[in-house]
Amino acid sequence: MKVSILGYWGGYPLAGGATSGYLVTTEEGHILLDCGSGVMSRLSHHATVEQLSGVILSHVHYDHMADIGVLQYAALGAIRNNRMQHKLQLFAPEQPADIFGTLFGPHTDVTQIDSTLKLRLAGADIEFAPVEHTITCFAVKITYKGKVLVYSGDTAYCESLVKLAKDADMLLCEATVCEGSTHTTGQGHMNAAEAATIAEKAGVKKLVLVHLPCDGNLLHMRQTASSVYRGPVFLPDAISSYTI
């Protein structure tokens, strides 16, 4: 499967950038992981709304779902013009309920994520594990033809992520906290060393740091991660993609 980074900033984007959005492409379709600010524009380079097998929101903070409304407008148009024969398949945690409630509409089938949910989208098997954030959030594991991708969502250091990421081919792991950065209070997030500790303990083959702070020293973050985790550490850019 191919993983295209559509957006990787935490909280809010830098000029021309986008917050969380990762497009997973298999031979059978596309899965969108998170749909943050600027992601719809980036998605247009890769796929149309009718080509999405499903959209998974790790949680309903706006930096992970700001562009859901415009994606739904695209779905509405595609349905009306018979380009799309099905509703947008959207998966999200049901808390906070007031935000979860905004996801519903005539263009969308919404399914609540919990730790027992197992999905098959674009020929891939998908499972979830709860992680430790300021609201309900799930890490996502995608398995396709024996290859495994794990995405952390937003989380503090937690063993449930180590377990989910065990032996994964690639871990997209949040690293939001950086020395000298005033981007976040740090609550419900990790620094690069903690992300790397997860990668090392889980024995993943490749680590990509995501959900990065706009004012962070990213090269220093990568260096720090490399001092903890023995495998390759990547910082994404706007056109990064990885094949696993």
Q: Which residues bind Zn ion (CB under 5 A)?
A: 61, 63, 154
Tokens of 98: 């007031």
- Least Å from the CB of residue 94 to Zn ion: 16
- Least Å from the CB of residue 62 to Zn ion: 8
Q: Residues near 200 by Cβ (< 8 Å), separated by ≥ 6?
A: 228, 229, 230, 231
31 or 34: CB nearest Zn ion: 34
Cα end-to-end distance, the chain, whole Å: 6
96 or 232: CB nearest Zn ion: 96
Task: Write the Ramachandran bin of 218: left for phi over 0, alpha for psi from -120 to 50, otherwise beta.
Answer: alpha
- Least Å from the CB of residue 174 to Zn ion: 7
- Which pairing describes strands 233-234 and 241-243: parallel, antiparallel, or unpaired? unpaired
- Least Å from the CB of residue 211 to Zn ion: 6
63 or 194: CB nearest Zn ion: 63
Residue 117 to residue 120: CA distance in whole angstroms: 10
108 or 184: CB nearest Zn ion: 184
79 or 174: CB nearest Zn ion: 174
**Alpha-carbon dihedral sign for residues 71, 73, 76, 78:** negative
64 or 107: CB nearest Zn ion: 64
Which uninterrupted H or E stretch holds 42?
helix 39-43
- Least Å from the CB of residue 61 to Zn ion: 3
- Least Å from the CB of residue 10 to Zn ion: 5
Q: Residues near 89 by Cβ (< 8 Å), separated by ≥ 6?
A: 52, 53, 54, 55, 108, 109, 111, 121
Contact between 151 and 58 (Cβ < 8 Å):
yes
3 state SS of 164: helix
